[in-house]
A = this chain, B = another copy of it.
Amino acid sequence: MKKGLLIVISGASGTGKGTVCKELLARAPGIAYSISATSRAPRAGEEDGREYYFRTRAEFEAMIAAGEFLEYADVYGNYYGTPLRPIEERRTAGEDILLEIDTQGALNVMERCPDGTFIFLLPPSYEELRRRITGRGTDTAECIAERLAAARDEIRLGKRYRYAVMNDTVGDAVARIQTILAAERLRADRDLTQFDFDI
């Protein structure tokens, strides 16, 4: 059994991570989203291990203490986080896991999972980034300037990723990502064992 890929898709805000990830999953149904853990109560129809891993606050805090989270946050009194162990277990079972994560979170994942496939999404140009951030609506000029500066800082982090993919159109961006995944499946550290050599 070949270990599944950990596909980490990140990028500055305004680069369209969510749309690209959704389209990737639509085209490549073999890939599954990473499942977060939360301390909030399950809603009707939600199942542990499907929508979320549901944990009590005490359990969640024990997991924090044990260093089990790639990242976590306390949102209005409920914890949300990305636990590493289920990702590794699912990869060992051969599943490809997709993790959509902000740039800071991705740097943590690089340290904990150096064998991941790290893809940085870029807007096609600075002008287009400005247009997207401005186009969100009613923000003040000052607020927009701050967001642009923050986005530029984030884009500088892109050099630390293995791959950079321009999100000019969602279709082209997803096609580029699928090319990357096809190549990653040919990596020697995954593939030598599939041959029937006694090595």
Residue ranges of A at the interface with B (Cβ–Cβ < 8 Å):
120, 122, 124-127, 152, 155-156, 158-166, 176, 179-180, 182-184, 186-189, 191-192, 195-199
**Number of chain copies forming the complex:** 2
Q: Assuming A152-B199, A180-B183, is B162 touching A188 (CB within 8 A)?
A: yes
B166 and A188: CB pair below 8 A?
no
B197 and A186: CB pair below 8 A?
no
7 contacts between A and B (CB under 8 A): A126-B197, A155-B197, A163-B183, A163-B191, A164-B192, A166-B195, A179-B179
Q: Assuming A159-B192, A164-B192, A192-B164, is B197 touching A152 (CB within 8 A)?
A: yes
In the complex the two chains form, what is the Cα distance from A125 to B197 in whole Å? 7
